């Protein structure tokens, strides 16, 4: 199983840069990149709350659980587009 982070989707919907998002949430751009790329091992509820406040969304808009095989297929589609 895998948790897929969808911060990039929400940023794109709002036409918000990573830098602006990081500043408004109170994170460094490097830490936002760690979250966006799914390399974070944990996220504090206070950070999740700040991200939701800034993006005016729900936690489920930012995080999604998928089966391992499904996650690999989604990453492949994201990298290469639908075929």
Which residues of the chain fall short of a pLDDT of 50? Answer: 83
In the prediction, which pLDDT does 39 show? 92
In the prediction, which pLDDT does 35 show? 95
Angle 66-27-19 from CA coordinates, rounded to 5°? 90
Angle 2-13-38 from CA coordinates, rounded to 5°? 25
In the prediction, which pLDDT does 25 show? 97
In the prediction, which pLDDT does 69 show? 72
CATH homologous superfamily for the domain 2-80: lambda repressor-like DNA-binding domains (1.10.260.40)
């Amino acid at each position: 199983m895998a948790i897929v982070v969808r911060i990039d989707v929400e940023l794109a919907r709002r036409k918000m840069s990573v830098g602006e998002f990081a500043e408004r949430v109170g994170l460094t751009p490097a830490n936002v990149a760690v979250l966006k790329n799914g390399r974070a091992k944990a996220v504090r509820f206070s950070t999740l709350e700040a991200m939701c406040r800034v993006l005016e969304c729900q936690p489920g808009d930012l995080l999604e659980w998928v089966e391992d095989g499904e996650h690999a297929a989604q990453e492949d589609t994201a990298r290469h587009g639908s075929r």
